[in-house]
A and B are shown apart, each in its own frame.
Chain A
Amino acid sequence: MSLSRRQRLRLVRGGVYTATVAALVLILLAVDWGALGGALFKWEIVKDQFPDILTNALRNTVIFTIFGFIGGLSLGLLLAIMRLSSVKPYRWFAATYIEVLRGIPLLVTLLILGFGIPIATGWQWPNPYVQGSVPLALVASAYIAETVRAGIEAVPRGQMEAARSLGMSYTRAMATIIIPQAFRIIVPPLTNEFVLLIKDTSLISVLGVTAKTLDLARFGRNGVNDTANATPLVVAGLVYLALTVPLTQLAAWMERRSKAGRR
Chain B
Amino acid sequence: MSDVLVRIAALHKRFGSNHVLRGINLEVARGEVVCIIGPSGSGKSTLLRCVNMLETPTDGKVFVDGVELTDPDCDLDRARTSTGMVFQSFNLFAHMSVLDNITIALRKVLKQDRATAADNAMKLLTRVGLAEKASSYPAQLSGGQQQRVAIARALAMEPKVMLFDEATSALDPELVGDVLRVMRELAEEGMTMLVVTHEMDFARGVADRVVFMDGGVVVEDGHPDQVIGSPREGRTKQFLANVRQRD
- A127-182, CB < 8 A from B: 156, 158-159, 161-169, 172, 176-177, 180-181
Judged by a CB distance under 8 angstroms, whether B93 is at the interface is yes
The contact string, 1 if C-beta is below 8 Å from chain A, for chain B 66-90, is 0000000000011011011101011
Tell me whether B105 and A167 are in contact (CB under 8 A): yes
Judged by a CB distance under 8 angstroms, whether A184 is at the interface is yes
Tell me whether B108 and A156 are in contact (CB under 8 A): no
Tell me whether A167 and B77 are in contact (CB under 8 A): yes
Tell me whether B94 and A165 are in contact (CB under 8 A): no
Residues in chain A near residue B77, CB distance under 8 A: 164, 167-169
Closest 5 CB pairs of A and B: A162-B91, A158-B91, A166-B105, A167-B81, A165-B85
Residues in chain B near residue A180, CB distance under 8 A: 95
CA distance A158 to B92 in the complex (A): 9
Q: Taking CB as reference atom, which chain A residue is nearest B52?
A: A165
Q: Which of A159, A161, A165, A172 contacts B108 (CB 8 A)?
A: A172
Minimum CB–CB distance from A184 to chain B (whole Å) comes to 7
Q: Which of B87, B110, B157 contacts A161 (CB 8 A)?
A: B87
Q: Which of B80, B84, B89, B105 contacts A158 (CB 8 A)?
A: B89
Residues in chain B near residue A165, CB distance under 8 A: 52, 54, 80, 83-85, 154
Minimum CB–CB distance from B144 to chain A (whole Å) comes to 17
* Number of residues on chain A facing chain B (CB within 8 A): 18
Minimum CB–CB distance from A160 to chain B (whole Å) comes to 9
Minimum CB–CB distance from B127 to chain A (whole Å) comes to 18
Tell me whether A161 and B154 are in contact (CB under 8 A): no
Minimum CB–CB distance from A130 to chain B (whole Å) comes to 36
Residues in chain A near residue B87, CB distance under 8 A: 158, 161-162
CA distance A159 to B153 in the complex (A): 13
Minimum CB–CB distance from B158 to chain A (whole Å) comes to 11
CA distance A181 to B95 in the complex (A): 6
- How many pairs of residues, A versus B, come closer than 8 Å at their CB atoms? 64
Q: Which of B91, B92, B109 contacts A167 (CB 8 A)?
A: B109
The contact string, 1 if C-beta is below 8 Å from chain A, for chain B 42-62, is 000000000010100000000
The residues of B with any CB-CB pair to A shorter than 8 Å are: 52, 54, 77-78, 80-81, 83-85, 87, 89-95, 104-105, 108-110, 150, 153-154, 157
The residues of A with any CB-CB pair to B shorter than 8 Å are: 156, 158-159, 161-169, 172, 176-177, 180-181, 184
Minimum CB–CB distance from A21 to chain B (whole Å) comes to 50
Tell me whether A167 and B89 are in contact (CB under 8 A): no
Tell me whether B153 and A166 are in contact (CB under 8 A): yes
Residues in chain A near residue B110, CB distance under 8 A: 167
Minimum CB–CB distance from A179 to chain B (whole Å) comes to 10
Add 7 more A-B contacts to A159-B91, A165-B84, A167-B81 (CB < 8 A): A158-B89, A158-B90, A165-B52, A167-B78, A169-B77, A176-B108, A181-B94
Tell me whether A166 and B91 are in contact (CB under 8 A): no
Residues in chain A near residue B95, CB distance under 8 A: 180-181, 184
Residues in chain A near residue B80, CB distance under 8 A: 164-167
CA distance A172 to B92 in the complex (A): 16
Residues in chain A near residue B52, CB distance under 8 A: 165
Task: Provide a sorted-by-A list of 26 A–B residue pairs whose CB atoms are within 8 angstroms.
Answer: A158-B90, A159-B91, A161-B91, A162-B85, A162-B91, A162-B92, A162-B93, A163-B93, A165-B54, A165-B80, A165-B83, A165-B84, A165-B85, A166-B80, A166-B81, A166-B153, A167-B78, A167-B81, A167-B109, A167-B110, A167-B157, A168-B77, A176-B104, A177-B93, A177-B104, A181-B93
CA distance A139 to B75 in the complex (A): 39
Residues in chain B near residue A177, CB distance under 8 A: 93, 104
Tell me whether B89 and A168 are in contact (CB under 8 A): no
Minimum CB–CB distance from B241 to chain A (whole Å) comes to 33
CA distance A166 to B81 in the complex (A): 6
Minimum CB–CB distance from A165 to chain B (whole Å) comes to 4
Minimum CB–CB distance from B105 to chain A (whole Å) comes to 4
Residues in chain A near residue B85, CB distance under 8 A: 161-162, 165
CA distance A180 to B77 in the complex (A): 21
CA distance A161 to B90 in the complex (A): 11
Tell me whether A166 and B154 are in contact (CB under 8 A): yes
Tell me whether A156 and B81 are in contact (CB under 8 A): no
Q: Which of A161, A168, A184 contacts B109 (CB 8 A)?
A: A168
CA distance A159 to B94 in the complex (A): 8
